[in-house]
Amino acid sequence: MTTKAQSTTSDPNMGLIADHLWAYGRTRALHAATELGLFDALTAGPLSAAALAKALRSTERGVRMLGDALCALSLLEKSKGGYALNATSRAFLVSTSPGYMGPMILHTRLHDHAWANLAETVRTGKPTQTVDLESGGREFFPKLVASIFAPSFGASTLARTALAPRIQEKVVDVLDVAGGSGAWSMPWAIANPAVRVTLLDYEEVFPVAREFADRFGVADRFAYKAGNLRKVGFGRAKFDLVLLGHICHSEGRNWSEKLIRKSAEALRPGGVLVIGEFIPNDSRTGPINAQLFGLNMLVNTAEGDVFTLPEYRAWMKQAGLSNIRKLDLGASGPDIVVGVKKG
Ligand X SMILES: C[S@@+](CC[C@H](N)C(=O)[O-])C[C@H]1O[C@@H](n2cnc3c(N)ncnc32)[C@H](O)[C@@H]1O
Sole binder of ligand X in the list 213, 229, 248, 316 (CB under 6 A): 229
Question: Cα–Cα distance between 73 and 19 in angstroms, integer?
Answer: 12
313 vs 308, 319, 325, CA distance in Å?
Answer: 9, 10, 8
Say how far apart CA 316 and CA 135 lie, in whole Å: 29
Q: Is residue 206 involved in binding ligand X (CB under 6 A)?
A: no
> HSE of 96 in the Cβ direction (CA atoms, 13 Å)?
6
Q: Verify binding: residue 212, ligand X, rule CB under 6 A.
A: no
Question: Residue from 215, 230, 236, 284 that binds ligand X (CB under 6 A)?
Answer: 230
Name residues contacting ligand X, limited to 238-267 (CB under 6 A).
245-247
Closest approach, Cβ 304 to ligand X, in A, equals 10
- HSE of 109 in the Cβ direction (CA atoms, 13 Å)? 11
Stretch that binds ligand X, among 4-12, 174-182, 260-268, 320-328 (CB under 6 A): 174-182
- CB 334 → ligand X: shortest distance, Å? 10
- Using the rule CB under 6 A, which residue among 30, 52, 93, 178 binds ligand X? 178
Q: Which of 83, 92, 100, 141 binds ligand X (CB under 6 A)?
A: 141
State phi, psi for 178 to the nearest 5 degrees.
55, 45
Describe the crossing of helices 134-147 and 149-162 by its angle, rounded to 10 degrees: 80
Write out the binding residues for ligand X, residues 14-33 only, by CB under 6 A: none
Q: How many Å separate Cα 326 from the centre of its chain?
A: 16
Residue 188 touching ligand X (CB under 6 A) = no
**Per rule CB under 6 A, is residue 82 in the interface with ligand X?**
no
Q: How many residues bind ligand X (CB under 6 A)?
A: 21
Closest approach, Cβ 79 to ligand X, in A, equals 36
Question: For the chain, what's the residue count?
Answer: 343
Taking Cα atoms as reference points, which of 54, 37, 179 lies closest to residue 100?
Answer: 37
Binding site for ligand X (CB under 6 A): 137, 141, 144-145, 148, 152, 178-181, 183-184, 201-202, 205, 228-230, 245-247
